[in-house]
Amino acid sequence: MASGQLTAPTFSARLVPSFEGLKPSTLKFASVGPFKAGSLAQRSFKGLVVRAATVVAPKYTSLKPLGDRVLVKIKTAEEKTQGGILLPTTAQTKPQGGEVVAVGEGRTIGKSQIEISVKSGSQVVYSKYAGTELEFNGSTHLILKEDDILGILETDDVKDLKPLNERVLIKVAEAVEKTAGGLLLTEASKEKPSIGTVIAVGPGPLDDEGNRKPLLVSAGNTVMYSKYAGNDFKGSDGSDYIVLRASDLMAVLS
């Protein structure tokens, strides 16, 4: 080796396994250069399926949640728009709802045993990033805490949501269409409103003794809320709705 010159480290393709069924693609490693996965020595892993969800083996036929956890069978993602246009996978709306199929025994607060507030068969809506997704009995499920459930929804319209615990359902005020000087605003430049009308409220949080504390807001109140809080939904009438915790409310306007 000449003085002052460095050579790239060697790389053995035999050390890299391939996954049968995956499309060969060009990969790059630092200081190694491109190579084709299809050109590597084959070591097969038959039956391997890449999934985001935890897969429960078929030998297990029942799943009982513990404590305040709930098992929900997730609704299938919409594959068509309301106009009947097929959606590509990337454009499909990830479901945030499903049917409760099993519940835990609840939790203990103080001297009180608090049961889960939803029952098997209930149709619920939950927080977007809640829980652990799993494949069970051939269907996709989610196991999550009761507190991650936003409310019960027995119809297909979010305005009919019955919030749980300290959750509040709000119809978002329409964005301002013009500036103070009368200039029309484009959709991109419209500021996201943080004001809306309360549509429904939950029964309230539990105190240290397991008793419900009623919320300080009620249906019909106009409220201001934290700008980046909650979960956003689109109603069947095209209106925007948001479900958030009462603690994310900042003021009642009148």
Give 235-251 pLDDT, tens digit per residue: 988 999 999 999 999 99
Residue 147's pLDDT is 94
Give 41-57 pLDDT, tens digit per residue: 444 333 333 345 788 88
| Average per-residue pLDDT for the chain | 77
The CB-based long-range contact list for 12-17 (8 Å cut-off, 24+ gap) reads 13/39, 13/40, 13/41, 14/40, 14/41, 16/40, 17/43, 17/45
**Cβ–Cβ < 8 Å for 204, 156:** no
Task: Give 190 or 163, the one with higher predicted confidence.
Answer: 163
**Least confident residue range of 29-43, 80-94, 123-137, 163-177:** 29-43
Give 63-73 pLDDT, tens digit per residue: 999 999 999 99
Distance, CA of 116 to CA of 103 (rounded, Å):
7
Reply yes or no on whether the pLDDT at 25 is more than 60.
no
Reply yes or no on whether the pLDDT at 163 is more than 90.
yes
Strand-strand pairing, 132-136 and 54-55: parallel
Grouping H, G, I as helix, E, B as strand and the rest as coil, residue 116 is coil
Distance, CA of 182 to CA of 35 (rounded, Å):
59
Reply yes or no on whether the pLDDT at 27 is more than 60.
no
C-alpha R_g of the chain: 26
Reply yes or no on whether the pLDDT at 139 is more than 60.
yes
Task: Using CA atoms of 56, 59, 63, 64 in order, give the dihedral in degrees to the nearest 10.
Answer: -130
The mean pLDDT value for 95-124 works out to 92
Residue 24's pLDDT is 47
**Least confident residue range of 117-131, 143-157, 190-204:** 190-204
Q: State percent of the chain over pLDDT 90.
A: 48
Can you read off the two tokens belonging to residue 168? 């509040």
123 φ, ψ (degrees, to nearest 5): -95, 120
Can you read off the two tokens belonging to residue 10? 């060697």
Residue 61's pLDDT is 85
Give 169-184 pLDDT, tens digit per residue: 999 998 655 555 555 5
Does the pTM surpass 0.75? The reply is: no
**Can you give the length of the chain in residues?**
254
Can you read off the two tokens belonging to residue 145? 């805490």
**Least confident residue range of 24-33, 65-74, 96-105, 190-199:** 24-33
